[in-house]
Chains A and B, each alone.
Chain A
Amino acid sequence: MADTTVPVTGGGLQTIDGVPLKKQLARATRQSKLRALMLVAPLGIFVLVSFIYPIVLTLTRSVHSPVFGAAFHRTAEALQSWDGKDLPSEPVWEAFVADMKEARANRTIGKAATRFNYDVPGTRSLFTRTARKIRKVKEGPYKEAVLEINKKWGDPQLWGYIKQNTAPYTAGFYLNALDRKYDYTGKIERQPEVRQIYVPLFWRTLLLSSLVMASCIILGFPVAYLLAHLPLRISNLLMILVLLPFWTSLLVRTTSWIALLQTQGVINDFLVWVGIISDQQRLQMMFNATGTVIAMTHILLPFMILPLYSVMKTIQPSYVRAARSLGATQWTAFWRVYVPQTLPGVGAGSILVFILAIGYYITPALVGGQSGQLISNLIAYHMQKSLNWGLAAALSTILLFGVLGLYWLYNRLVGVDNMKLG
């Protein structure tokens, strides 16, 4: 029939309805793009709302801390014109007394004092005690009245800190997280020696994670090699020994390491029984960094073996044979020909193990003791015990960006699509 032929008018191909083919194609592509997006959208929105948004919200706490400034808003205003050298003038004191009374009445003084205490340790009780007595102060001169309650208020440095703390946005938590702080004039200085804990802890987290990663490579590479080169029947059987730990609950594995490693545990009993050590010399393998590294290596080892195995499976044996026939020793053939081909697997496994290790919480908390704690444990401490949420958020942000950097690297090197599970 004549109307089924493609009409050629206006210098381009057209569909049967007279729409230019190009336009029709663009429409079809757009529709299928839209369809693909529609399929991804439910999960995307779910992840955004219940995962990304809460994280972003929490991270703002690391810079946003309005509690103190809200409670002492009059003081904040009055302190605007203060020169920062001598004690503030009378209007500031008057505002301060008014703020104190109000904070005491609406019970915000506790929170504000706690917040201030993070920056100037030991001042929490100064605030709360003064607040309790402040209602006796009815009229000026307010400065003398406040000083009479507690003469510590006569310290100009304290007022410097007060002025700093009334600002709703602060970099103070990040400085704390890096073992630094503002002095009373607003200059950045190092924390005193005994309070420098976070930077060493970051270093320890990196060190222990690297140790775990290195042990995983050393232990995982030979096993992956063996599994990849044994006949399939045997290697499938041995693979169970790798997969069973992988599928076993994290707490189960941590529990069994406690049973093995503790001073009255299986390994020590065995060593005493064999006679390598005497009953008094039982090894302290738990509640320190050793315990953390051993247990974490065990838990993360499958994450190294599985990607290595899948890469080694694809390596053609003919390359090593060719190298050997060209005169390479066994070692040269292995090191110069085989190993370079496994590097994608080594890279994938290492980054994965490292990413998982630096965020580890459960195992260090249970077997790590004091010296085996990682940065996550301190974040949990500030979340649950000290309730210094700003500092917890600052530490989290630093950790998060470290992990995201590694994740980006992983994505570049391996691609998340190629992640192998089980």
Chain B
Amino acid sequence: MALPAHASTLETVWYYAFRVFCGFVLIFLILPILIIIPLSFNAEPYFSFTEGMLSFDPNAYSLRWYADILENGMVDPNAAFGWDWFKDSWNNAQWMHSLRNSFIIATAATFVATTLGTIAALGLSQSNLPYRNLIMGLLISPMIVPIIITSAARFFFFSKVGLSQTYLGIILAHAVLGTPFVVITVTATLVGFDRSLIRAGASLGADPRTVFFKVIMPLILPGVISGALFAFITSFDEVVAVIFLAGYEQRTIPRQMWSGIREQISPTILAVATILVLMSVMLLTVLELLRRRSERIRGLSPG
């Protein structure tokens, strides 16, 4: 894609204009995510760069919004820093409460979604499944149907069966939203799966369970894990279902951010956002490593 030596002036201009345009689009994509990182260290309660920040005055930067994550809602934030202080923060701070909820709900929802999704993907990848297209369409639909419709429907249904404002209700709701991702990634992994390995395992005397855990599972594991990560992030990031189904007890991080943006806007949200960005960087790294491993295992590339 390098510019050939015989390129005309017009072609040269076009070549550079194209690259500059792409550069701008990539900046457009990444800038909003990077900009909040310095903003979260703002010493003032503004969403913008202050004079001091621009002239790199150390006093214009502070960690107060990060401290606020730990302190907001504490019984006694001014107590001596120590074990009791942490206990107070862990038990009473609003953001810590939400963080805990987010992890509990996302982990449980991921477990349900990954288990059901992987088993279903195994069935879907068998060539003789009847009505395959219809079933696939049905299983993917939670990803497509607008979340507001899904959540409104669940609101009525869960109130009726007593699941609204319970952890179980939100876990089930998030699990449904996560399953399409697991189904898609695991089915994609199974496309290149050599079925004769199953028969080989069976002919060597392994029962179906052993074949599953010793032969199938190791090979599809990268797909399962990336599906699980998708399910996890879907739940961790989901807010509409939580708005409709959760009470104060079950507030998650996105729910807390949502009300933070709407009611009492403060840079604490930016500090939380920065932490979440770091989390997605980690997730992305794990996924990339998995992808490489999967390619190596299946011999798709020399690694």
A-side contacts of B144, CB under 8 Å: 355, 403-404, 407
Most buried by A among B128, B135, B138: B128
**Given the complex, which residues of A lie within 8 Å of B145, measured CB to CB?**
55, 359, 400, 403-404
Q: Once the chains bind, are A417 and B187 in contact (CB under 8 Å)? A: yes
Q: In whole Å, how far is B170's beta carbon from the nearest beta carbon of chain A?
A: 12
Instruction: Give the interface size bracket for A toward B.
Output: 35 or more
Q: Which residue of B lies closest to A252 (CB)?
A: B273
Judged by a CB distance under 8 angstroms, whether A70 is at the interface is: no
- Kindly list chain A residues whose C-beta atoms are within 8 Å of the C-beta of B133: 411
Are B139 and A244 interface neighbours, CB within 8 A?
no
Q: Which of B98-117 contact A (CB under 8 A)?
A: 116-117
B11-51: which have CB < 8 Å to A? Answer: 11, 18-19, 21-22, 25-26, 28-30, 32-33, 35-36, 39, 46-49
* Residues of B contacting A298 in the complex (Cβ-Cβ under 8 angstroms): 28-29, 32
Task: Check if B172 is an interface residue, CB within 8 A of chain A.
Answer: yes
Q: State which residues 233-275 of B face A: CB under 8 Å.
A: 233, 236-237, 239-240, 244, 254, 257-258, 261-262, 269-270, 273
- A264 CB-CB contact with B under 8 Å: yes
B26 contact set on A, CB distance < 8 A: 223, 238, 241-242
Q: How far is the CA of A295 from the CA of B226 in the complex (A)?
A: 27
B240 surroundings in chain A (CB, below 8 A): 361-362
* B150 with A38: CB separation less than 8 A: no
Contact check, B136 vs A416: say whether CB atoms are below 8 A apart: yes
Of the candidates A47, A259, A416, which one forms a contact with B179 in the assembled complex, judged by CB atoms under 8 Å apart? Answer: A47
Interface locus among A119-127, A147-155, A376-384: A376-384
Q: Does A399 contact B (CB under 8 A)?
A: yes
Partner of B184, one of A55, A240, A249, A419: A419
Nearest CB on B from A25, distance (A):
12
**Which interface class (under 10, 10 to 19, 20 to 34, 35 or more) fits B?**
35 or more
User: Contact: A411 with B116, CB < 8 Å?
Assistant: no
Q: Which residues of B contact A404 (CB under 8 A)?
A: 144-145
Q: State in angstroms the CA–CA spacing of A363 and B26 once bound together.
A: 21
Judge whether A266 and B35 touch: CB under 8 Å.
yes
With both beta carbons as reference points, the residue of chain A lying nearest to B129 in the complex is identified as A36
Nearest B-chain residue to A410, judged by Cβ = B144
A44 touches B184 (CB 8 A): no
Asked if A248 and B140 make an inter-chain contact with CB atoms under 8 angstroms apart, the answer reads no
Q: Report the minimal beta-carbon distance from B301 to chain A, rounded to whole angstroms.
A: 10
- Smallest CB separation, A350 vs chain B (Å): 15
Chain B residues in 8 Å Cβ range of A269: 48-49
A230-B173 Cα distance, complex, nearest whole Å: 42
Give A363 Cβ to nearest chain B Cβ, in Å: 11
Taking Cβ atoms with an 8 Å cutoff, the residues of A that contact B are 29, 32-33, 35-44, 46-48, 50-55, 57-59, 61, 219-220, 222-223, 226, 229-230, 238, 240-245, 247-260, 262, 264-266, 269, 298, 301-302, 330, 355, 358-362, 366, 376, 379-380, 383, 389, 392-393, 396, 399-400, 403-404, 407, 411, 416-417, 419, 421-422
